[in-house]
Structure formats: C-alpha cells, structure tokens
C-alpha cells in the first residue's frame, strides 16, 4: 500500500496517509483540524548515502543483496 503525503489547505499541517486505491486520495481529512481540503504533495524517493569521509563498501553484505541498502 503506498504512502501519500498531504498538506491541509486550511491549517498547513503536513501529514501522511496509507491509501490502497488512488480514488481514496480525494477522501483525505486533516488529522489536526478535520478539514477535507488536503492537497497531495509530490514526495521524492528517500535514500541515504555515506558521507565522503566514511568508507563506502561495494561488497554485498549479509543483510541485503548488492550491499546498497546502507547496512554493513
């Protein structure tokens, strides 16, 4: 189930909702003020990387395939 991020048009609250179907996006209520005028925000993919000072491992680790999940 995808997680969508919304911003309430009335109070400015930013919140997340799990929605199974895309038509449910129109039926979002702000958890802070109860207003049903919430705008879906563009959410970028979240990823983390190591800083340049840290050694980056290119070998596969035991916790994920490929070694790209960030765990060592």
Q: What is the pLDDT of residue 60?
A: 43
- Does 72 fall in a domain? no
Question: What residues make up the domain containing 7?
Answer: 1-43
Does residue 51 fall inside a structural domain?
Answer: no
**49 in a domain, yes or no?**
no
Closest among 53, 49, 55 to 69, alpha carbons compared:
49
Structural domain count of the chain: 1
* Number of Cβ within a 10 Å radius of residue 7: 15
Q: How confident is the model at residue 4 (pLDDT cuts 50, 70, 90)?
A: confident
**Positive or negative torsion for Cα 2, 18, 50, 69:** negative
Assess whether pLDDT exceeds 80 at residue 12. Answer: yes
- What is d(CA 68, CA 58) in angstroms, rounded to the nearest whole number? 8
Domain assignment present for 62 = no
Per-residue model confidence as pLDDT tens digits over 20-59: 776 667 778 999 999 988 888 987 666 666 666 555 444 4
Torsional class of 34: left (φ above 0), alpha (ψ -120 to 50), beta (otherwise): left
Examine residue 65 and state whether it is found in any structural domain, yes or no.
no
Task: Assess if residue 56 is contained within a domain.
Answer: no
Stretch among 5-9, 10-14, 36-40, 66-70 having the lowest mean pLDDT:
66-70
Q: Is residue 52 part of a domain?
A: no
């Amino acid at each position: 189930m995808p997680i969508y991020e919304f911003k309430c048009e009335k109070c400015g609250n930013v919140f997340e909702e799990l929605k199974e179907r895309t038509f449910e996006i129109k039926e979002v209520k702000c958890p802070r003020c109860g207003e049903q005028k919430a705008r879906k925000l563009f959410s970028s993919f979240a990823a983390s990387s190591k800083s340049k000072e840290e050694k980056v491992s290119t070998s596969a680790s035991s916790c994920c395939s490929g070694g790209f999940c960030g765990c060592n």
